[in-house]
Amino acid sequence: MEKFLAEDKAVKSVVGPVDLNTAAVTGARVDMRKAKRVTFIVTLAAGTSTTGHVVTLRQHTAASSGTSADLASENPYYHKVGAATVFTKVTPGSAAAAKDIHAVVGDNASIVIFEVLAEELTEGYGWVSVDTSDVGGAQLGSVIALVETDYKPGYALAV
């Protein structure tokens, strides 16, 4: 039987909407202890004179405080930039926590999707987050996390 999105996935606002020109943004942590994967959807409005877009995946041992570390991932990511009607798949050449997407998105309105699988986390780490860099020019952005779980209806899972 088909499920509605809120029954199938837990949803959390991780960043913004916020002006990405004011400073780097530390994203909220997402609890993956009862999840199979989290999909981070980065949405960028059209920008003006931006100079850099770096998205960094992080892993943590607690919901706040605790130990934090970069989360290097070789997973492909996907982008839809400007007037594009379909997503383009990007396969990284090596595992990295920081993804420099500026050459791809520039000043364009864009959607970029990153996925983290639960098995990628280091033992003892149960939370993930995404940090965004100061883009160096005027641009609004946000990050939403879709958390995939088989344990509860999505809307009933605290992430």
**Tokens 């379909």, located at residue:** 86
- 135 backbone φψ class: left, alpha, beta (φ>0; ψ -120 to 50): alpha
In angstroms, the Cα distances linking 66 to 9, 63, 127 are 26, 8, 10
Is residue 157 in a domain?
no
CATH number for the domain including 48?
2.60.120
pLDDT at 46 over 90: yes
Res. 4 pLDDT band, cuts 50 70 90: confident
Is residue 2 in a domain?
no
Is residue 6 in a domain?
no
Q: Give the burial class of 86: count Cβ atoms within 10 A of its Cβ; 0-12 exposed, 13-18 middle, 19 or more buried.
A: exposed
Is residue 159 in a domain?
no
- Residue 32 sits in which domain range? 12-151
Is residue 158 in a domain?
no
Tell me what pLDDT residue 90 has.
95
Half-sphere exposure of 72 (CA within 13 A, CB side): 4
Is residue 43 in a domain?
yes
Q: Residue 6 corresponds to which tokens in the numbers above?
A: 């809120």
Q: Give the burial class of 48: count Cβ atoms within 10 A of its Cβ; 0-12 exposed, 13-18 middle, 19 or more buried.
A: exposed
Is residue 4 in a domain?
no
pLDDT digits (tens, 9 = 90+) for 114-152: 999 999 999 999 999 999 999 999 999 999 999 998 766
What is the tally of structural domains in the chain?
Answer: 1
pLDDT at 22 over 90: no
Q: Specify the amino acid at residue 39.
A: T
Is residue 24 in a domain?
yes
pLDDT digits (tens, 9 = 90+) for 59-104: 999 999 999 999 999 999 999 999 999 999 999 888 899 999 999 9
